[in-house]
Amino acid sequence: MSEIRELALRCRDASRAVAALRTEDRDAMLRAMADALLADAPAILAANAQDLDAARDKGVAAAMLDRLRLDDARLAGVADALREVAALPDPVGQVTRRETRPNGIVVERVRTPLGVVAMIYEARPNVTADAAALCLKAGNGVILRGGSEAIRSNQAIATALHRALEAAGVPAAALTIVEDLRRETMVELLQLTDIVDLAIPRGGEGLIRFVAEHARVPVIKHYKGVCHLYVHADADQDLALRLLVDGKVSRPSACNALETLLVHADVAGVFLPRAAQALRAHGVELRGDAAARALVPGMGEATVEDYDAEYLDLVIAVRVVDSLEAALDHIRRHGSDHTEVIATRDSAVAEAFVQALRSAVVMVNASSRFSDGGELGLGAEIGISTTRLHAYGPMGLEALTVERFVVRGEGQTRNIHG
């Protein structure tokens, strides 16, 4: 048996111990994980410093170094996040429906852990602890395959977390760090269809496409977030401007940041110059179609690539549309099924926008930046799905469980009686 298969089997066996913990014991284990992280801070930060040195030597880009870097404040933030996960309601065992059938059998739908979740991600040590906590909270085993640049940090974090697991009577294998970081080993992990119940890739589009292409286990993913704001003719323009600025500039690197602004022709003449002024004050570059450029001096030209782009940067594509239908057509052609926003005063127009689009999150008069598990009330977020199966949009703890059937009877039979 290959080493990765053996690791995965051990994780699956250990996951049964996680699922069997009472809620209060599982929550106590998560709090102990937070304590262990802080207790091991010196060792974790020392390992992280080694990772950072090696990454610098390799010439890794500054943005990636920043995501890799831990310090006391960041570690405290991770520990706080673990305590927040501990405090969330336990999804395991929740009875979502109960029905007594005419023959007297009682049918319940009960949330149960998925089993084993494989997280595939880049060099972000905070994800190691976050994702582990969410998977364990939902009663699962977790296999963590992070980026090679973070391997020492991840090992040090796992060493700390494993103490908390073992104190709770859970085998350390329930939280398994993959140390063999060869691509072919990851591919083998992604093809363990009899062991791994779900793979969640998090990171750049290249990583996600690699996982989607090679996985034979189910994958929940999103490639990118090309989020639109459509400003209808009747929109409150101050409101629309707030949504635009918040959506574009508050965190341009987030997948729920706005990438394209669509403005109804009837208000473009008034709205676009204001929008350009407000965005430029935040350093945003605008790229528009001919109609938009005619209204805003100095605006660059938008190509088709611009309308498909997830800039993740202070750039926005702009287009003037003649109607709601034209806005919907644009979103259908260029959207990524992530998050779309309409600004309008007309509830019928809003409803038409909501119904016509199939995106995971559709917003009326609210910022695209609310497209986030915490903001939408999920308590935490393990990822975002634009796969229209199981979970669609931000995924919280419930998305790490599945509903099964529990039936209780008094000897009822279907066809043969007596």
Residues 115-134 that bind its own copies (CB under 8 A): 115
Query: What is the rounded distance in angstroms from the CA atom of residue 316 to the CA atom of residue 279?
Result: 9
Site for its own copies in 185-204 (CB under 8 A): 193, 197-198
Q: Is 84 in the site for its own copies (CB under 8 A)?
A: no
Shortest Å, Cβ 417 to its own copies: 7
> Of 70-78, 146-154, 305-313, 397-405, which part binds its own copies (CB under 8 A)?
397-405
To the nearest whole angstrom, how small is the minimum distance from the Cβ of residue 87 to its own copies? 16
Spatial CB neighbours of 278, under 8 Å, sequence gap ≥ 6 = 241, 244, 245
The one among 17, 28, 107, 312 contacting its own copies by CB under 8 A: 107
The interface region with its own copies, picked from 42-50, 118-126, 312-320, 407-415 by CB under 8 A, is 407-415
Question: Under a CB-based contact definition with an 8 Å cutoff, are residues 147 and 202 in contact?
Answer: no
In the beta sheet, which residues pair with residue 199? 118, 219
348 belongs to the binding site for its own copies (CB under 8 A): no
Distance in angstroms (rounded) separating the CA atoms of residues 368 and 364 = 10
Instruction: Check binding of 182 to its own copies (CB under 8 A).
Output: no
The only residue of 30, 245, 286, 321 in contact with its own copies, by rule CB under 8 A: 245
Q: Kindly state whether residue 174 participates in binding its own copies, applying the rule CB under 8 A.
A: no
Q: C-beta of 364: minimal distance to its own copies in Å?
A: 5
Task: Choose, by CB under 8 A, the member of 7, 11, 114, 164 that binds its own copies.
Answer: 114
**How would you classify the pairing of strands 300-301 and 285-288?**
parallel
CB 155 within 8 A of CB 177: yes
Residues 18-77 that bind its own copies (CB under 8 A): 19-20
Q: Which residues make beta-bridge pairs with 109? A: 97, 405
* Residue showing tokens 């977790």: 142
Burial class of residue 94 in the structure, from the number of CB atoms within 10 Å of its CB (0-12 exposed, 13-18 middle, 19+ buried): middle
Q: Which of 393, 395, 396, 397 binds its own copies (CB under 8 A)?
A: 393
Q: How far is the CB of 343 from its own copies (least distance, A)?
A: 8
Cα distance between residue 171 and residue 42, in whole Å: 25
Measured from the CB atom, is 40 or 340 closer to its own copies? 340
Q: Quick one: which of 18, 367, 379, 381 contacts its own copies (CB under 8 A)?
A: 367
How many whole angstroms separate alpha carbon 224 and alpha carbon 244? 19
Q: With CB under 8 A as the contact rule, which of the stretches 152-160, 172-180, 259-267, 382-390 interacts with its own copies?
A: 382-390
Half-sphere exposure (Cβ direction) of 408: Cα atoms closer than 13 Å: 7
**Measured from the CB of residue 293, what is the shortest distance to its own copies in angstroms?**
26
Q: At what angle do helices 237-249 and 265-281 cross, to 10 degrees?
A: 40
